[in-house]
């Protein structure tokens, strides 16, 4: 995977300042930062939901096996 060094970042920032303008550049950085933050929060929420669903499946499987064991014990009596 290609790596981006400090020189490449400096070139990208310089071009962005020229294209956007030095006055609007901080505003653009703030917007990009908020978009990245929103995306990270969304991904974290999805990961939490998936892990919660996985935990619920494990608990349901354990409950089913416990119920089956109790049923088998009741059937043998």
Kindly list the domain boundaries of the chain, sorted by start residue: 28-77
**Which residues touch 20 (CB under 8 Å, ≥6 apart)?**
28
**Which residues touch 25 (CB under 8 Å, ≥6 apart)?**
16, 17
Task: Encode pLDDT of 51-68 as tens digits.
Answer: 887 777 776 666 666 666
- Model pLDDT, residue 8: 94
- Model pLDDT, residue 77: 55
Pick from 49, 5, 8: which is nearest to 16 by CA?
A: 8
Q: Which residue has the higher pLDDT, 65 or 15?
A: 15
Q: Which residue has the higher pLDDT, 22 or 65?
A: 22
């Amino acid at each position: 995977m290609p790596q981006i060094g400090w020189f490449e970042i400096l070139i990208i920032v310089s071009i962005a300042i020229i294209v956007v303008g030095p006055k609007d550049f901080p505003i653009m950085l703030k917007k990009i930062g908020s978009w990245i933050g929103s995306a990270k929060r969304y991904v974290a929420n999805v990961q939490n939901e998936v892990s919660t669903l996985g935990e619920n499946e494990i608990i349901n499987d354990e409950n089913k096996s416990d119920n089956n064991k109790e049923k088998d014990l009741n059937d043998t009596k």
